Amino acid sequence: MARARANDAPEPQQQPPGFLEAVAVGALAGGVNAPTFLALNAALFCVVLALVALLALSSRARPELVPHVFVLLLLAAGLWGLVIWLVTTVGLEDAGKQRRELLGGGQEAAAAADDAAEDDESDDDQEEEDEDEQPRQQQQEQQQQRSGVRQRARRRA
């Protein structure tokens, strides 16, 4: 009876990962989660802030450094903008899902969810391919016509 009661007991719920754990998991697992994105933004903000301070200090003490620091500032700001663009394009992942994938738990559930998503995407892709196939055929015909014109021009020359 004790054994049956132990089996009937619900499993304890896993708590969501803390901020630092979510950042570490986000760095190791595929995709980017919100805490990792926040930490990355904070780090890049600090880099830009340090370069702005260096620019202000170098403009008074060593003016010959200003162009170099300005270029570094532009590169850091560009990197920050591109990171934000990439993450918004790719999207954010759930930290708990990343943790399960990284630690190996929940592989069946993740695989089932991925299979369902792939089935939906493949249906959409098939419709898009049907729509795109006609313009592709027209482009191929145009390319064949152009190559025929080029060949005739070469024969004449």
Mind listing the pLDDT tens digit of every residue in the chain (157 residues)? 455 554 555 555 666 668 888 888 888 888 888 899 999 999 999 999 999 999 999 989 999 999 999 999 999 999 999 999 999 998 888 888 888 888 886 555 555 555 555 555 555 556 556 566 677 777 777 777 777 666 666 666 6
- Record the pTM: 0.55
Dist. CA 59–CA 144, nearest whole Å: 61
Total domains present in the chain: 1
* Residue 88: inside a domain: yes
Owning domain of residue 24: 15-107
The span from the CA of 36 to the CA of 33, in Å, is 5
Give the whole-angstrom CA distance, residue 115 versus residue 137.
31
Give domain status of residue 133, yes or no: no
Query: CA 54, CA 58: separation in Å to the nearest integer?
Result: 6
- 100, part of any domain: yes
Q: Give me the residues paired with residue 93 across strands.
A: 33
Residues 6+ apart with CB under 8 A from 48: 73, 76, 77, 80
Residue 114 in domain: no
Q: Coil, helix or strand for 27?
A: helix
Query: What is the signed CA dihedral for 81, 84, 30, 25, rounded to 10 degrees?
Result: 100
- Paired strand residues for 92: 32
Q: Is residue 95 part of a domain?
A: yes
